[in-house]
Each structure stands twice: as structure tokens, then as C-alpha cells.
């Protein structure tokens, strides 16, 4: 059985370790989480004049940002048709504009850095070998939303394609090189997990093993929101995991691709590697043999290829497919959150940095209502009910049998592909010795 390895993004990087918090301090803004969302938000706020501190449990880029496939694109699987139907064409247009602007912001920011971070403009494609009806609807909605795009029948892919939807002028990059190039100049404490959060009248106290940070404003960028109440994010978020292999001797010179059929794959070049992704499933469900399946697909497409690396990652999924970016809850005007990126958190971390820094500094921003976590979810009642069903099932099973998650007590399921115990309710994961691997669980669990 094959298991996970570090991603290719970590290979060339030997960043110096940052200090661990060893005293109490105060700041304007504390950002919890040193992934792309946290670091970019901290950078935007510091550039706007705020005194910002980032608290990171492990080291920056240790989370999902270090395991992504790093396409920077406004093409977020199928979204524009549904978004336009549910929330109207104006919201779909704003969603598109926010994400197209994010690609330009990457390009502009990277120009100021000492490295180009592998940033390359290229087209992004959705492809199908089916009827093409869903792509035609998506094309019309994307065009109406102002995205430069086209339907095409011919691609460079070695798989059968009946129709593809191309978005022009998208991009790809090396995410960890970018993260480490953006972070210098920020005050970041690594090896500093936030263990308790106490909100007072004027400040919030964030307790870590080495000291307490007292902050006027807190940004929750820890991937999954850490505080259960208020916010109640666990009722409207779940996590999905998927698998990536890095191939040598396989090549696609031009675009980035994502299949919309059930057996669809993700493709992009990264230097000498071709990244092939797939096998997505709700965390906690049995993935079968995802690496073996991907490798077998790769060998049929490029018989000479060699699998150089394999890894997996997971991301938070919202019930209406739009991230939750904004005020944490109506009762906490000094807390902010960025989560629910639905496997598109490269572009939407940049959107989050812009929206959150505008909210915190009071600058006008047309995108705030689009991502507002307090928006109406009435068009997504079916998905909300589904989330509740999963939680009820996991909790009931946890009551009567099996190993339980330290988050809310749901029964954990064994993921043989990863060698981990995974929670089907909210996506926490644990090593075989009970050490917590993924939030929202903040504590280890007893697996005996």
C-alpha cells in the first residue's frame, strides 16, 4: 500500500526557523495560522499600517498550502452557472471580478519580490467526455460574469475530450516559494499553537504554551475556524480530501486542466513534473486505493512515466460553494475569518486578504457581501440538511462504538491510504498514536 510523502513544493526550500512565542505581548491584529490566507492577510494589514502578529502552530506553509496543486485561477470547477441561478448574475460577476483581480494582484506583488516564484500565465480548462451541456451552461454564465473564456473541442490532453471550457490568462506558481518570499518583515511566531481564546470587552487573549497575545482584532486563518460557538461553522462546513502524484517523463506544454466527469483528473506542469490529481472524497469516507488508481491512469496515458512523489491534502467546503470570508459572527465584530476555499484557496486567499484588510481598516470593498459568512444560505437548505445528517450519524456511532474524535465525539474511520484515523463529521484527522493531524480537533485523542 502506497502512503503519502511531502509535496514537491518543499524540495528547494530551507527557510530559517522563526522564533516561538516565549512572553506575553499586545498587538492591533493577531492572525492565527501561517498558511497562504494568514500570511497574505497579515501582509496586507501591515502594509496598511497595522501592528500585526502571526501565530503558527508548526511552521509557515505546514498546512494545506504546502500540499496544494497551486493553480491560480478564477475557474473554480463548475460555479458560475449555479451561483448566478442562486444569488443572481450581479453576485456571480462580483465573484469573478474578485478572483480575476486576485490573479493580477499576485502578478503585481511577485514583481516586487526577489524571486518570480515560478509565476506563469497560462489558460485553465474544464473538460468533459460527456454531453457538454453543463460546460455550455457554465460558459454562458462565465461570459456573462465578464470572464475571458471560450468553448473548444480540441485540447492537448491525452484523454478523450468532447468539450472543454477555456479561461484565458490564468496562472500557476510555486506556493511555498511565494509564501517565504512574502513573509519576511512580518512578525511570525512558529511552533506557537493557540490553545485557548478568551474574548474580553476591549481585547481578545490568545493563550499559547509560551505566552499570551492580547489583540484588539483577531483573524482566524487556521484553515478550519477554531471557535465552535459563536459562528457555528461546523454546521455549514465539511472537509474533502484528494490525492496528487508528481510524474517525471510526462508532459503537457500549455494549460492546466480539471475534468468535471466522475473520473475527471487534474493536470498541471510544475517544472519537470506533471502533477496529476484526483480521487476526491469526503474526509472520513473510505478512499479505496487512490494512489494506485492514479498511477494506473498515469501509466496508460504516459507509459514511460515515473511516479516521483505522492501526497494528499484536504480543504473545507461550504454549503453554497462560496468561501466564508468576513466577520466571524454578528456578536464578535472584532473577529474575522477566512475559510471554506473548496480547493481554490490560492486565488481566494488573495481575495480574503483584500476583503479582510478592507473590513478591518474600514475601506470600501464591493466584494464584502459576496463572501460574508452571515449571508443567507436559504438556497442551500439541502446541503445544510446533508451536513446535519452526517454529523448526527457520526455522533451516534461515536456514542456506541469505536474510536472517537476529540472535537465533538464522532466515530473515526481508518484511512488505509494515509494511515490515519479520519472524522467523517468535520474532517479532523489523527495519526495512529492519536496525535491530531488536522483541525478542527485541537487536542489529541485516545485511540486505545
Ligand X SMILES: Cc1cc2nc3c(=O)[nH]c(=O)nc-3n(C[C@H](O)[C@H](O)[C@H](O)COP(=O)(O)OP(=O)(O)OC[C@H]3O[C@@H](n4cnc5c(N)ncnc54)[C@H](O)[C@@H]3O)c2cc1C
Q: Which residues bind ligand X (CB under 6 A)?
A: 32-38, 55-58, 62-65, 68-71, 193-194, 221-223, 226, 242, 244, 277, 313-315, 341, 343-347, 349, 439, 442
- Give dist(CA 157, CA 192) in Å, integer: 44
- Go through 102-114 and write b for each residue having 16 or more CB atoms within 10 A of its CB, e for each that does not: bbebbbebbeeee
- Closest CB to ligand X among residues 67, 93: 67
Minimum CB separation of residue 401 from ligand X in Å reads: 29
- Closest CB to ligand X among residues 7, 155: 7
Minimum CB separation of residue 167 from ligand X in Å reads: 13
- Closest CB to ligand X among residues 84, 348: 348
Minimum CB separation of residue 342 from ligand X in Å reads: 7
Give the three cell numbers for residue 427: 474532517
- Asked, as a colleague might, if the bond just before 440 is cis with ω within 30 of 0, I would say yes
Q: Are 50 and 72 in contact (CB under 8 A)?
A: no
- Closest CB to ligand X among residues 67, 397: 67
Residues 6+ away with beta carbon under 8 Å from 49: none
Single out the residue of 182, 165, 145, 178 nearest to residue 42, CA to CA. 182
Minimum CB separation of residue 226 from ligand X in Å reads: 6
Minimum CB separation of residue 346 from ligand X in Å reads: 3
Cα 263–440–312 angle (5° rounding)? 35
Q: Are 97 and 146 in contact (CB under 8 A)?
A: yes
- Closest CB to ligand X among residues 73, 397: 73
Minimum CB separation of residue 254 from ligand X in Å reads: 16
Minimum CB separation of residue 299 from ligand X in Å reads: 21
- Give dist(CA 361, CA 214) in Å, integer: 19
- Give dist(CA 356, CA 44) in Å, integer: 9
- Closest CB to ligand X among residues 132, 278: 278
Single out the residue of 38, 6, 59 nearest to residue 220, CA to CA. 38
- Closest CB to ligand X among residues 132, 408: 408
Amino acid at each position: 500500500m502506497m502512503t503519502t510523502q511531502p509535496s514537491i513544493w518543499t524540495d528547494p526550500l530551507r527557510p530559517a526557523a522563526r522564533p516561538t512565542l516565549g512572553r506575553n505581548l499586545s498587538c492591533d491584529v493577531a492572525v492565527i495560522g501561517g498558511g497562504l490566507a494568514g500570511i497574505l492577510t497579515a501582509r496586507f494589514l501591515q502594509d496598511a499600517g497595522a501592528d500585526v502578529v502571526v501565530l503558527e502552530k508548526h511552521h509557515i506553509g505546514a498546512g494545506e498550502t504546502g500540499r496544494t496543486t497551486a493553480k491560480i485561477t478564477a475557474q473554480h470547477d463548475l460555479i458560475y452557472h449555479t451561483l448566478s441561478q442562486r444569488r443572481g448574475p450581479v453576485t456571480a460577476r462580483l465573484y469573478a471580478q474578485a478572483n480575476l483581480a486576485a490573479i493580477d494582484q499576485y502578478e503585481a506583488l511577485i514583481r516586487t519580490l526577489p524571486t518570480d516564484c515560478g509565476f506563469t500565465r497560462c489558460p485553465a480548462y474544464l473538460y468533459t467526455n460527456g454531453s457538454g451541456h453543463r460546460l455550455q451552461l457554465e460558459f454562458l454564465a462565465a461570459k456573462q460574469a465578464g470572464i475571458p473564456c471560450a468553448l473548444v473541442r480540441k485540447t492537448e490532453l491525452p484523454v478523450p475530450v468532447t468539450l472543454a471550457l477555456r479561461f484565458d490568462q490564468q496562472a500557476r506558481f510555486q506556493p511555498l516559494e511565494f509564501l517565504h518570499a512574502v513573509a519576511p518583515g512580518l512578525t511570525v511566531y512558529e511552533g506557537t499553537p493557540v490553545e485557548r481564546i478568551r474574548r474580553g470587552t476591549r481585547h481578545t487573549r490568545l493563550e499559547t504554551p509560551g505566552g499570551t497575545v492580547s489583540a484588539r482584532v483577531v483573524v482566524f486563518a487556521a484553515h478550519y475556524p477554531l471557535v465552535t460557538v459563536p459562528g457555528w461553522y461546523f454546521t455549514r462546513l465539511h472537509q474533502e480530501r484528494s490525492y496528487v502524484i508528481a510524474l517525471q517523463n510526462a508532459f503537457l506544454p500549455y494549460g492546466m486542466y480539471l475534468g468535471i466527469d466522475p473520473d475527471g483528473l487534474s493536470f498541471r506542469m510544475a517544472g519537470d513534473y506533471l502533477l496529476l490529481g484526483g480521487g476526491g472524497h469526503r474526509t472520513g469516507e473510505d478512499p479505496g486505493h487512490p494512489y494506485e488508481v492514479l498511477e494506473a491512469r498515469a501509466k496508460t496515458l504516459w507509459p514511460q512515466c515515473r511516479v516521483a512523489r505522492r501526497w494528499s491534502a484536504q480543504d473545507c467546503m461550504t454549503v453554497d460553494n462560496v468561501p466564508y470570508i468576513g466577520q466571524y459572527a454578528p456578536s464578535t465584530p472584532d473577529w474575522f475569518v477566512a475559510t471554506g476555499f473548496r480547493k481554490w484557496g490560492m486565488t481566494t486567499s488573495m481575495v480574503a486578504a483584500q476583503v479582510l484588510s478592507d473590513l478591518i481598516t474600514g475601506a470600501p470593498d464591493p466584494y464584502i457581501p459576496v463572501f460574508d459568512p452571515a449571508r443567507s444560505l436559504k438556497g442551500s437548505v439541502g446541503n445544510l440538511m446533508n451536513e446535519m445528517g452526517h454529523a448526527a450519524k457520526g455522533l451516534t456511532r461515536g456514542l456506541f462504538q469505536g474510536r472517537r474524535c476529540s472535537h465533538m465525539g464522532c466515530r473515526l474511520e481508518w484511512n488505509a491510504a494515509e494511515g490515519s484515523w479520519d472524522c467523517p463529521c468535520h474532517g479532523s484527522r489523527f495519526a495512529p498514536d492519536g496525535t491530531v493531524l488536522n483541525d478542527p480537533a485541537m487536542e489529541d485523542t485516545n485511540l486505545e
